[in-house]
A and B are shown apart, each in its own frame.
Chain A
Amino acid sequence: MKLVIDENRCKGCNLCTKVCPYHIFREGKKLNRKGIAVPELDRPERCTNCRLRNLYGRQLCGVCQLTCPDQAIHWIDEEPYEPHKVAIEY
């Protein structure tokens, strides 16, 4: 699975950067056409739901999606599957 931020819905509140336990969101720097700095993804392959949802067959974590006040975060199926290197931090 792949996490996507809907640029049309995001209002740039950056709450996702605060709540993600893996800190995959980073405050954006570039303003989009609506004048909003949409957060950027920082090594999103660390997200459990991205990695394991299909394996477990259910939603995992999902705190960012629940928290996002603007319903801008969701997951899409990756097609074709893109292999990712998972960086494990100790």
Chain B
Amino acid sequence: MSFEDWYRADRLPHIFCAGCGNGTIINCTLAAVEQMNWKREETVFVSGIGCSSRAPGYILTDSLHTTHGRAIAFATGVKMANPDLHVVVFTGDGDLAAIGGNHFIHGCRRNIDLTVVCMNNQIYGMTGGQGSPTTPKGALSTTTPYGCAETPFDLCDLAIAAGANYVSRWTSYHVKELEKAVKVGLETPGFSFIEALVQCPTAFGRRNKFRQVADHIEFLKTHSLLRAKRDRLLEKGEPVPEDMFVVGELMRRNRPAIGVKP
């Protein structure tokens, strides 16, 4: 069996634009789920609203496509009412960090046994490219036509500070690493948060010099700084390049969790 069998084949091809990284993230997540040997009927995918949140609709399990930002709140209900179910949440940056920010930090605080995969494309893709809480400073979007003036969220730092048990960040270029990270997230009791930076050629790339998908992938590849490398730089007292983002496993701990399968 391969992860492909988890797709609702009758619904493919999906609605994502050509070159969108969301499909890659779904592949990696399903590949990790496949390795867990979970039964299909015991797995539930939950999502909110946005491009990323369309994902559960393409997966052949019970799936809940809910209201904007509330995916973690719905997932909390599912998981608490039936801890035997494995609950995976797909969400996006706007969904998770803007409208759903409160649910996110409280999910981390409760350390409820969910795995949250955030496809961070740094923009509101479905509504046509508005600035999101993770839009980098200076980036152009339809609501930041003169460059984003606000400081973006670091979602992983947020999750660590709020108490998540497992936090890691990868990109849609690092498929194998992402797959492994999701698998560790699925195995970890408690709240696991995996941020995956994805390219959005239609809404983000078009306005920010990544008109070609390959250029954006190249950017993700060259601007990702491995955590170990960052730590070495810090140890040596050397400056960490400001235009790079840290990838890798950022937190693994064992805080008491709720909703864990007995």
Contacts and interface: CB of A to CB of B under 8 A. Distances in A.
Contacts, number: 69
Contact of A15 (B12, B31, B217): B217
Given A8-B13, A13-B18, A67 B24 contact: yes
A32 interface: no
A74 B4 contact: yes
Interface residues of A, number: 21
A14 B213 contact: yes
B214 interface: yes
Nearest to B17: A11
Contact of B24 (A59, A66, A74): A66
Interface string B18-29: 111111100110
Interface in B214-243: 214, 217
Interface string A1-35: 00000001101111100110000000000000000
Contacts of B27: 65-69, 71
A17 to B, nearest CB: 8
A18 B13 contact: no
Which bucket holds chain B's interface residue count? 20 to 34
A78 interface: no
A69 B201 CA distance: 13
Contacts of A15: 19, 24, 213-214, 217
A63 interface: yes
B213 A13 contact: yes
B209 interface: no
A42 interface: no
Interface string B60-80: 000000000000000000000
Nearest to B179: A66
Given A18-B214, A63-B175, A65-B27, A71 B19 contact: no
A88 B28 CA distance: 31
A19 B175 CA distance: 10
A66 B28 contact: yes
B38 to A, nearest CB: 18
B176 interface: yes
B171 to A, nearest CB: 11
A13 to B, nearest CB: 4
Interface string A25-59: 00000000000100000000000000000000001
7 contacts: A14-B214, A15-B213, A66-B27, A68-B27, A69-B22, A71-B12, A71-B23
Interface of A: 8-9, 11-15, 18-19, 36, 59, 63, 65-72, 74
Given A11-B17, A74-B2, 16 more contacts: A8-B13, A9-B12, A9-B13, A11-B18, A11-B19, A13-B20, A66-B175, A66-B176, A66-B179, A67-B175, A68-B23, A68-B24, A69-B19, A69-B21, A71-B7, A71-B13
